[in-house]
Every structure is written in structure tokens, then in C-alpha cells.
Amino acid sequence: MYRVEKVLNHNVMIAVNEEDMQEYLIMGKGIGFGKKVSERLDGLSDVQIYSLVKTGKEAQKSFSAKGIDPLCLEAANMLLEEAEKRLGKVDKSAMIPLADHIEFALKRMKEKGEISNPLTQDIKVLFHGEYKVAEGIRPFLQKEVGLEIGESEVGYIALHVHSAITEEKVSSSLQVAKCVRECISMIEKEIGHQIPVVTLSYNRLMNHVRYMVLRCMQKEEIKISMNDYMELRFEKSYRIAGYICKEMGEILKQDLHENEIGYLAIHIQRCIEEIEEEKNHVELLQ
């Protein structure tokens, strides 16, 4: 059984579980309406319950829920519920930092100081499902506060959603996105052509580079080598891949396994072939 400690609004309250005497955030439509401090709650249904108990460095952040705008808590809860429906089980402890981020985003919007996010387009591709969930914040904020949130802010919220479903730190996801962007830029420079974002080869390349970076960070190795085959058949792509892997190793401060070269070369070759096909198609039309 829970005992009301503080009503934040009609839909959000903080309550103490009388079994473990710990604080919980309880969210549900109308759950706080007419409730008074110390009132006992029983038979709760259709509500979301988040523990506010953390240890170590997370303690202060968790209890800051008492100071977060209840509207932002509702928004975070809405996004995590949608993420669970679409993407699978979520880590509920991500709710507080997500709500915290939304509150600061709202503050920036009101002060006309929205931050830019040069990785937004990459996040859309790398974390497609998470970005779709994050876009749900738009109609919510438009309805509740009449503000239109920009794509850059939605991109950062998508990283929080990703963190909730993978337990990967937001900072790590951002680092991966930055590494992917640098890698793609280097490949485009080496092949002398921008890779069209809407193509299947671009999507495959980005996702391959994403997991390549994660494998490097987690010290995992690809067991089967494609190096000899790719070096023999597609020398240019293999050479570019070797250069890229060397540069990425320096960025990540850790050498990529040599077998990564062949697999990256496969994706580079696909991009080159697709670009050549498009050029030939345009020439035929002319």
C-alpha cells in the first residue's frame, strides 16, 4: 500500500510504499485529483510506478524529481510507454534524466535559445525507431504549452529513448553517432562523392559503421576475414577501408581488428557501385 507524500498535479504524485518505506513516482490519468498528503492508496491500476531510490552518484539526480515540472514527467512517461510498446522493455530509471532533459529543452525554447544538433540526420538513421518515438513529444508540447520543438531537440531526446531500451549511456550513444558521422565524411572524401542519404547502401553503411564502432569500444572481434577476397577483387574500396579503419582507431584510441577492413570495404564498394549506376542512368536520360 502507498501513502501520498506530495501531489504534483492531477496526474502525478510522489508516494511512499509502506512495505519498504521508499519513495515512488506514481503517474496515471487523474491519479492525483482530490488526493491529500498521508492519504493511503490501494488497488492501483492503469498507473506507472517509478522508483526514486538510487545509490551513489544517482541519488541526488533521482530525488530531483521533486523539482522537475510535472508536465515534463508526464511527457517522459508518455515517451517511455510508447517506446515499450514499439521497441520492447525499457529501463524505468531513464525517466528522470529524460524528464530533466525535456524541462531544459522547454526552457531553451521559451528563451529562444534552442541548441543545434549537427548529428540529427544521422540519429534519424542510426536510431530510427527511437527517433519515431521521440517525435511523439511534438504534439504533446504543442497541445500542453503551445510550443513547437525543433528537430535538434527531438534528436537528443531520441538518444535518451535509446538509452532507456539498451541501458547504454546517452554520452556513449552520442559518441557513436559522432564517430559514424566522421567515418562517413572520410569515406565521402576518399571516393570523391557524397553518398545519397536516401539510398539503401547509405543506410547499410551507417549501421555497419555503428556496430563496427561498438565492437571496437567493447573489444569484440569479427572471426571470419573477407580481407583477401576484397583486396583482390576491389582494391580501391579495400584501400579506402584500410585507411578509414586506421583513422577510426586513432579517434577511438583503440585499434580496430584487422578483419573489420574487409567488411567495411564491402559497404564502400556497394556505395561506389550505386553512385556509378546513378551517374549512368542520368547520362542515358540526357
Q: What is the pLDDT of residues 179-228, one digit of tens each?
A: 999 999 999 999 998 888 878 888 889 899 999 999 998 889 899 999 99
How far out from the chain centre does Cα 52 lie? 23
Q: Is residue 163 part of a domain?
A: yes
Query: Is a pLDDT exceeding 60 seen at residue 60?
Result: no
Per-residue confidence at 53, pLDDT binned at 50, 70, 90? Answer: low
Query: Is a pLDDT exceeding 60 seen at residue 127?
Result: yes
Q: Are residues 204 and 253 in the same domain?
A: yes
Q: Is residue 216 part of a domain?
A: yes
Q: Are residues 78 and 3 in the same domain?
A: no
What span, in angstroms and rounded, lies between the C-alpha atoms of 98 and 80?
A: 9
Q: Is residue 283 part of a domain?
A: no
pLDDT of 244 reads: 94
Q: What is the pLDDT of residues 250-263, one digit of tens each?
A: 999 989 999 999 99
Percent of the chain whose predicted confidence (pLDDT) is above 70 = 91
Q: Is residue 194 part of a domain?
A: yes
Per-residue confidence at 284, pLDDT binned at 50, 70, 90? Answer: low
Domains in the chain, number: 3
Q: Are residues 100 and 159 in the same domain?
A: yes
Q: Is residue 149 part of a domain?
A: yes
Query: Is a pLDDT exceeding 90 seen at residue 95?
Result: no
Backbone dihedral angles phi then psi of residue 219, each to the nearest 5 degrees? 60, 40
pLDDT of 62 reads: 44
Q: Are residues 213 and 154 in the same domain?
A: no
- Residues belonging to the chain: 286
Which structural domain range is residue 104 located in?
Answer: 68-168
Q: Are residues 77 and 159 in the same domain?
A: yes
| Residues 103/65, Cβ–Cβ less than 8 Å | no
pLDDT of 40 reads: 77
Write down the mean pLDDT value for the chain. Answer: 84
C-alpha cell at 149: 520543438
Cα angle vertex 136, ends 130, 140, to 5°? 150
Exposed/middle/buried for residue 182 (C-beta within 10 Å: 0-12, 13-18, 19+): middle
Residue 48's CATH number: 2.30.24.10
What's the rounded mean pLDDT across residues 9-27? 78
Q: Is residue 173 part of a domain?
A: no
Cα-atom radius of gyration of the chain, to the nearest Å? 24
Q: Are residues 196 and 274 in the same domain?
A: yes
Give the residue, 175 or 49, on which the prediction is more confident: 175
